[in-house]
Amino acid sequence: METETGNDVTVQKTGTTTVGLVTAEGVVLAADRRASLGGRFVSNKQAVKIEQIHPTAAVTLSGSVGAGQAFIRQLRSTANLYEARRGEPMNMDALARTAGRLLRGTRSMPVLGGVDEEGPRVFQIDPAGGVLEDTYTASGSGTQLATGALERLYEEDLSLAEGASVATQAVESAIERDTASGNGITVARITSEDVMIDIDSTSEEVH
Amino acid sequence: MRGQDDRQAYDRGTSLFSPDGRLYQVEYAREAVKRGGASVGIRATDGVVLVAERRIRSSLLEARSIEKLHKIDEHNGVASAGHVADARQLVEEARQTAQIEQLSYDQPITPEQLTGDVSEHVQEYTQAGHTRPFGAALLVGGYVEGTPQLFETDPSGTSYEWQATAIGGNSDEIEEELESEYDPEISLDAASSLAVSVLTEEEEDDPETVAVAVIDDDGYRTLDREAIEDLL
């Protein structure tokens, strides 16, 4: 996580390393648990940066904590209204388009992951509203470290358990060297059935 | 002015009282609700059931397009009676209100608050100029934090809380039946059977003629054809 100084006010940032990847059985999202101020002070050691926003989708938080939380609330509300109005949940394309629209002009850069009729899908959303689908991606201050690990470890057709292991290792790699990431790992496993978020995943499955 | 003339003078606008203190347009809107099929709501110990009558006027009509049960959010549902188009506007209002409550206060809206907010909206249309009252009534059923609740709002914007009730055509007879059959300790399953039985004729056994929704600890859901057949 980093801190950010705008208008002479320092706001909490996630600093953060978050990753998302597609497996044969679903999507895995993982994130560290550190929030920081100005990148030099750990302001929170138990931040949970993955939230469910839909019956079979979740997002990671990275960048400004406030912007990320506001984004999540809006996205969840939109998904709920969509389902109440139409009697079926949003598909991932609709959810990604909405996420991009809501993010424009904010200071948040989440990873969106979920499962719809097309299967497991992962999207990188940027603060300008850019929406790019990928099979594996990372965001936050530890992006480069996590991406290096993902390039080496990611394979197509991983099982959900193998995917969780790869995602956890990628975040752990970043935690080792990125001062704004740390304090444990949250892992989410998303299938066509539901979203399971393990808030404080031990790294047993890593090694 | 006397007789027929008397009435005509005071039912031109919704915001006009008659000399004996009546709002004719609101009363006519209540009559409009009674012209349609009935909807029934029953509060059980572990949830709420909403059942709506479907009048299928042609064998070519797709029964599922008759919309009288509406999911509002995870915890609340609505059964409507009267003008379907008017009811849809109220349902949309309710859905937005439910999401605003969650966004503003990080808590699910209760059926009581939801009915109150919708009722305020309905009342505005009985007092503002250039509008007519809503020709629809709603039953709002919900299950929030372990508490089942059932409310009604009518075209005047008045809300009531009920243990069990009916709106729409034939609702007086159905209510009488509910008064004699209702037990405050009734389970959701038994309430579902009771609600379907008071709404259907004796020999009726076509599951297409009713729609059933239940709201309990697992949230709002509609029953499929097979589950309704079991209730019949």
Q: Does A1 fall in a domain?
A: no
Q: How is residue A136 written in tokens?
A: 């594996």
Q: What pLDDT, on the 0 to 100 scale, is given for residue A9?
A: 56
Given an 8 Å threshold on Cβ–Cβ distance, is B102 in contact with A85? Answer: no
pLDDT of residue A203: 55
Predicted-complex ipTM score: 0.71
- A92 in a structural domain: yes
Of A146-155, B14-23, B29-38, B168-177, minimum mean pLDDT range? B14-23
Best residue of A85, A86, A88, A194 to probe chain B, by most B CBs closer than 10 Å = A85
Scanning the structure block, which residue is given the tokens 């469910």? A52
- Nearest-by-CA chain B residue for A77: B99
Residue A6 distance to chain B (closest CA, Å): 26
Best to test chain B binding among A53, A71, A76, A77 (most B CBs inside 10 Å): A77
Interface membership of A105 toward B (CB under 8 Å): no
What pLDDT was estimated at residue A182? 92
Q: Are the C-beta atoms of residues A29 and A163 closer than 8 Å to each other?
A: no
Give tens-digit pLDDT for A108-162: 899 999 999 999 999 999 999 899 999 999 999 999 999 999 999 999 999 999 9
Helix A160-177 vs helix A143-153: angle between axes, to the nearest 10 degrees?
Answer: 140
Quote the pLDDT of residue A39: 74
Nearest CA distance, B70 vs chain A (angstrom) = 8
The DSSP 8-state label assigned to residue A7 in this structure reads T
Distance from CA of A30 to the nearest CA of B (A): 25
d(CA B82, CA B137) in angstroms, rounded, equals 6
Is the pLDDT at B56 greater than 90? The verdict is no
Nearest Cα to Cα of residue B205 among B230, B223, B181, B188: B230
How many separate domains does chain B show?
1
Q: Would you state the structure tokens that stand for residue A147, as one six-digit string?
A: 């991406």
* Integer Cα distance of A55 and A52 in angstroms: 8
Q: Which of chain A's residues have a Cβ under 8 Å away from the Cβ of B72?
A: 84
Which chain A residues are Cβ-neighbours of B70 within 8 angstroms? 84
A88 touches chain B (CB under 8 A): no
Q: What is the CATH number of the domain that holds B36?
A: 3.60.20.10
CA separation for the pair B11, B18 (Å, rounded) = 8
Q: Determine whether A16 is an active site residue.
A: yes
What percentage of residues in chain B have a pLDDT greater than 90? 72
Cβ of A80 within 8 Å of Cβ of B102? The answer is yes
Q: Is residue A35 part of a domain?
A: yes
Give the domain CATH number at A116.
3.60.20.10
pLDDT score for B9: 67
pLDDT of residue A116: 96
What tokens appear for A86 in the block?
């139409």
How far apart (Å, rounded) are the C-alpha atoms in residues B136 and A84? 20
Number of domains in chain A: 1
Work out the average pLDDT over B165-176.
95
pLDDT tens profile B108-128: 999 999 999 999 999 999 998
Both tokens of residue B70? 């509406």
Is B71's CB within 8 Å of A84's CB?
A: yes
Cβ separation of A84 and B102 shorter than 8 Å? no
Tell me whether residue A6 is in a domain: no
pTM: 0.82
Q: How far is B223 from chain A (nearest CA, A)?
A: 13
Domain that includes residue A77, residue range = 15-200
- A70 at interface of B, judged by CB pairs closer than 8 A: no
Give the nearest partner residue to A80 out of B70, B73, B92, using CB atoms.
B73
Could you list the mean pLDDT of each consecutive 10-residue stretch along chain A, which spans 207 residues? 48 84 98 89 93 97 91 95 91 94 91 97 94 96 96 97 97 94 96 95 56
- Position B6 scores a pLDDT of 60
Residue A176 lies in a domain: yes
Among candidates A180, A170, A205, which has minimal Cα distance to A30? A170
DSSP states of chain B as a string? --HHHHHHHHSSSTT---TTS--HHHHHHHHHHHTS--EEEEEETTEEEEEEE-----TTS-GGG---EEEEETTEEEEEEE-HHHHHHHHHHHHHHHHHHHHHHSSPPPHHHHHHHHHHHHHHHHHSTT----SEEEEEEEEETTEEEEEEE-TTS-EEE-SEEEESTTHHHHHHHHHHH--TT--HHHHHHHHHHHHS-TT---GGGEEEEEEETTEEEE--HHHHHHH-
Residue A201: per-residue pLDDT:
85
Q: What is the pLDDT of residue A10?
A: 62
The pLDDT value given to residue B1 = 46
Contact A84 B72 (CB under 8 A): yes
Kindly list the residues from chain B whose CB atom is less than 8 angstroms away from the CB atom of residue A88: none
Q: Render A165-197 in DSSP notation, one character per residue.
A: HHHHHHHHHHHHH-TT--S-EEEEEE-SS-EEE
Give CA–CA dist B157/A73, Å, rounded: 31
Catalytic site residue from A3, A14, A16, A186: A16
Range of the domain at B179: 4-230
A165: in domain: yes
Residue A3: predicted pLDDT: 44
Query: Per the structure block, which two tokens stand in for B49?
Result: 């059931």
